[in-house]
Amino acid sequence: MELSHHERRKEVRVAADAELTLVVDDPLPAEVHGRLVDISRSGFRAHHSYPRFQPGQQVRFRYPASEGQARVMWNRILDGRVETGFLVL
């Protein structure tokens, strides 16, 4: 029996709903505003409108409980909504 995606997760994720700002310098400078979906000890997932994130790309982030740098782990677009998973560095 294959485990579902959720069951393979190594860390507990906690639902979140807070404003988030992401700052990208490469390839072009951009400030992206979005919303947190969930957070874990080492990362977070967010909805936003910036479809250009690429896995491995580094960003600066800021939300009410934290700020720092993160690496894009994955990016997907579903029904016009962009969702990205980040690993906090």
> Of 51, 58, 56, whose CA–CA distance to 78 is shortest?
51
pLDDT tens column, 11-53: 888 999 999 999 999 778 999 999 999 999 999 999 999 999 9
**Cα-Cα-Cα-Cα dihedral sign, residues 60, 36, 19, 55:** positive
Task: State the pTM of this model.
Answer: 0.85
